[in-house]
Copies of this chain bind each other. A is one copy, B any other.
Amino acid sequence: MTLTLSNLAKAVIDSQYAVRGPIVARAQELERTGRKIIYCNIGNPQALGQKPLTYVRQVLALTEWPELASKAPEAFPEDILATAKTIMTESKSGLGAYSESKGLKFVRKAIAEFIQERDSDEALAVKADPEHIYLTDGASKGVQTALRCVIASDRDGVMVPTPQYPLYSAAITLYGGVQVGYYLDEASGWSLSRGMLDEAYAKARKEGTKVKAICVINPGNPTGSVLSRDNIAMVIGFAKEHGLSVLADEVYQKNTYRAEDRFTSFARVLTELGEKEVSLFSFHSCSKGYLGECGQRGGYMEVRNLAEDVIAQITKLQSIALCSNLPGQVLVYLLVRPPRPGDQSYELFISERDGVIDALKRRAALLAEGLDSIPGYSCQPITGAMYAFPTITLPAGRNDDEYCLALLEKTGICVIPGSGFGQLPGTAHFRTTILPPLEQIEEVVSKIREFHLSWR
């Protein structure tokens, strides 16, 4: 055949994406033979029974088929009919036409207002510009765009946490850059320290790598930790000192589970510091938080401290695939403009939203405590995001790849080995989501316990 493994692009072959890797393929194989599989490999809430929020789906239905507003008005609350009408008017041609490459202007305006409202308080006004916002097919495509811009040669490095979300390592490999891992400190709740950044940076420089950017995932994936304001300021200072751009993955900003772990954005701290040098890309998504609309691929990227000529290059890059999908763009609008007090659908929205967040909070606690109680396991509290990443003690000579495969074969539970995310040499972990229904979480923990105690 004319295209074979031997003449296929090496960057494609070298890239790895563990959360959809061999272990998931094996799980699907087992499922086809009739085995019951509990998919804890990926943050895909609706696949595990989470219900979509009603207001979101009502508006999407009305914008997909606008005649519904006259055919069945009684099926919809008034504010929903009004929102759908606004979207149809503002978008001009509805969901069927390509939008501007950056995305629909009124959606970008709403995002800018959302950022301003989220990040400002009496002491500080944070501004946002709709022209510095790009609608993307999920956050993943935004991250790929940013990395594509930053990696200019095969000696260019990008700092990513260890452990990290494998989208980063895969995209860096695809674009021919160098992954520069910095460790997070598990013992102190996966915190991020200046010492670890300095160490990773120095090692990379010594190896001839030109470090161009640093990626931070906050709240953390797979670690579940939430960064403090001071931690973020430290990262920005570090980036400034070394002339790095910052990629801030903030898709779990609504997934925080303790009052003391309030989400702080990089945009806010950048403004606070009056920082004008450090270029920032930040990412948000409709796939996580309380929406969990993974399949609809809605997301956005906001950029700061970039000159107009660079903005123009990013816009051109986006234009090559024309625009992100319009239902996803509408979904982002609904993410940043949920029903407001006084709206007919407000109460239902609040009860559905709180129901989702509350359930996640209870599962996070139950899972972290359950795993931590298994002899040979140590699991940090899950204060944000949707994952646990416990340390496991394995018999000498065995690794987490074998362990997770055996766990799958024995119990039907599909988790991803720590090797797919990165970890300190000599340690072993896996990542599991907190997404199975509450009653299944106890089953998961007890099956893992039983498996662990017998595995050799």
Contacts and interface: CB of A to CB of B under 8 A. Distances in A.
Contacts of A17: 316, 319-320
A56 to B, nearest CB: 9
A152 interface: yes
A15 B315 CA distance: 12
Contacts of A20: 101, 316, 319, 322
Interface residues of A, number: 97
Contacts of A167: 320
Contacts of A141: 321
Contacts of A326: 295-297
Given A15-B320, A17-B316, A138-B322, A96 B293 contact: yes
A271 interface: no
Interface string A1-14: 11111011110110
Contacts of A61: 60-62, 64-65, 68
A276 B276 CA distance: 58
Interface in A310-341: 310, 313, 316-317, 319-328
A141 B20 CA distance: 19
Interface stretch (A44-52, A181-189, A360-368, A371-379): A44-52
A313 B98 contact: no
Interface in A8-59: 8-10, 12-13, 15-17, 20-21, 28, 42, 44-47, 52, 54, 57-58
Given A294-B322, A325-B325, A1 B71 contact: no
Given A20-B101, A96-B293, 18 more contacts: A2-B244, A3-B310, A5-B309, A5-B313, A7-B212, A8-B150, A15-B320, A17-B319, A47-B92, A60-B61, A72-B75, A95-B296, A138-B322, A140-B321, A144-B320, A144-B321, A174-B320, A297-B323
12 contacts: A1-B277, A1-B307, A2-B245, A3-B149, A3-B150, A5-B310, A9-B150, A12-B316, A52-B96, A61-B62, A140-B320, A174-B320
